[in-house]
Structure 1
Amino acid sequence: MKGDHFLISTLAILAFATFLASAYDPSPLQDFCVAVKDIKSGVFVNGKFCKDPKLANANDFFFSGLQNPRNTKNPVGSNVTAVNVDNLEGLNTLGISLARIDFAPNGLNPPHTHPRATEGLIHFQLNVGHVNAVAFAGLSSQNPGVITIANAVFGSKPPINPDVLTKAFQVDNKVVDYLQKQFWYDNN
């Protein structure tokens, strides 16, 4: 009886240890998988169809324009240039994307979330005369998505019931009514 108990315990520990040892992300199927929109020309991998690797070229891994400042004359005083698998096909299966965020003086990037990624931010600031600030964000997904909180809450279509928002934010219903009537600018 004692030997059976020892054997069962040992097997349980080994099974658990084996389970932990195999809990990792699989390696990519190939080194790169350039995304294509034409479903007839490739194999489906990681949410996108892949170009035949023999047809890949340098342009598949090049994005032009990240060095150029964008217009920040808008209600929030910022402008986001996103670089992801949708405009840089060579990022497919690499699990990364990035963004340049241009800020006007006193501009902001509205509170937001990325439902499919975490974000790291590098902020550069140059205080020479009247110069805008620039930030670069690195994201842990090839297609991170973005949900701007104010747009999602007060600018949703169909609108969220004002009684729900009044109770959730603990404000007067006139405040919610006012906010729902605003134009919510999207800086993406």
Structure 2
Amino acid sequence: MTGVPLKHQRISRILAREIRAGRRPAGERLPGEHALTRRFGVSRTTVRATLAELSEEGLITIRIGKGSSVLFDGRPPDDRLGRARALAVRGAATSARTLAVRETHDSALAAELGLEKDEFVCVERTRELVPDGTVVSYERGPGCGPTTDEQRTSRTADDSFAEHAVALLDPGHFRLSLAFG
């Protein structure tokens, strides 16, 4: 190899620069294969190799039949102020769709959280990207079913219980980040 980048590598670098510079914000769909073929004057095979490389770098997600969408830039979202705010700070407009609201009882969770009463309001909702309605998370409150994936308990300033939520996150839009110290 002479060190000269291949066509798909050159195109990948151009698109990666556009994404990292914010010209293609998180959640935006990339032009389709045919449009990229015309823009760069290359074959669909080259475009597919480009998209695969961008996906491996964590810059886009590829969905069969839906196209490719720009991911968040790899930084874990800071959701101390809530997931919606964390996404908004990252440039992704979202909306929440409420699926169900009901009263429930969960004595094990009440004990875990140090609460006297085991009464909770179960809220199930999805969080969706505004441009195309792509669901990026399914969230549910206590007592809505088995707890898996990400769990978060929120408390008020005086340390009173406020909310306990479980979220199933779309790996195409969120990444797991671990820190050891």
Common fold by TM > 0.5 = no
Q: Over alpha carbons, which structure has the higher Rg?
A: 1
Provide TM-score, normalisation by structure 2: 0.29
Provide TM-score, normalisation by structure 1: 0.28
Structure number with higher strand proportion: 2
